[in-house]
Amino acid sequence: MNNQREPDNRVSHQPAFVLHTYPWKETSLIVEVLTRDYGRLSLVAKGAKRPMSQYRGMLCPFCPLAVSFSGKGDIKTLTKCEWHGTLMLPDTVLMSAFYMNEILVRLLPKREPVPKLFHSYFTTLRNLADNNKPHVSLRIFELDLLETLGYGVPEPREGTNYQFVRGDWIQSAQTPESTGVAWSTLAAMRERRIQEGAQEKEVKGIIRDVISFYLDDKPVNTRKILSELKKF
């Protein structure tokens, strides 16, 4: 997909994914998108709720898009939207994909280019669709997001345990009685070589604590929904 910047703050054919939509006025939608070169943006899709709208059925999550938009304010105007392929996500991974969208909307600042994170998001969606180590892929995406935000994993010292305490990684000597995260686990996180099974589950708990801190300990809605679904 080629991206082209035009005069008068117009952008054409920008690779994007829909993260979230909500109503705006009677016939329109505000569309939160993740774009390759402009980061997270809010676009108004005028008339999108009308039966004959050009956007009808197109503004769906997890579909590779090329969007064109214009405007100078915080909310740009969507002027064109095209599909660029499809990703068929199994029902078993849909909540994981919605979780990715939720933490992007809640943590990622707007209008900051994040091409590496965009690539990570796209790669993770493909891995979810192909059932290619979906749990490990999700952990790697979370780590990529945290690193993009400036909250990356520190380079660990061999033989040292770490604890994440209110935004800081605190070192402690590694002994049989010590608790916390082993340096080898942090190294695996930092180098994105997480193993399936026990290590992935350990990393999941660690990342959950880190993300919870940066969300001010407010609950993640997709986790609550998944927890409720497991009761049935």
Predicted local confidence at residue 211, as pLDDT: 96
Of 27, 62, 83, the last residue of a domain is 83
Closest listed residue to residue 145, CA positions, set 174, 167, 120: 120
| Domain CATH number, residue 26 | 2.40.50.140
Which of residues 83, 113, 128 is at a domain's end?
A: 83
The answer to whether the CB of 15 falls within 8 A of the CB of 99 is: no
| Angle of CA points 92, 63, 83, to nearest 5° | 155
Q: For residue 97, how many other CB atoms are within 10 A of its CB?
A: 21
Write down the mean pLDDT value for the chain: 90
Supply the range of the domain harboring residue 33: 4-83
pLDDT at 214 over 80: yes
Same-domain status, 98 and 168: yes
pLDDT in tens, 181-194: 999 999 999 999 99
Q: What is the pLDDT of residue 85?
A: 85
- Using the 3D structure, point to which of 83, 102, 137 is the last residue of a domain: 83
- Overall pTM > 0.85: yes
Of 13-17, 37-41, 116-120, 175-179, the least confident: 175-179
Confidence of residue 152 (pLDDT cuts 50, 70, 90): very high
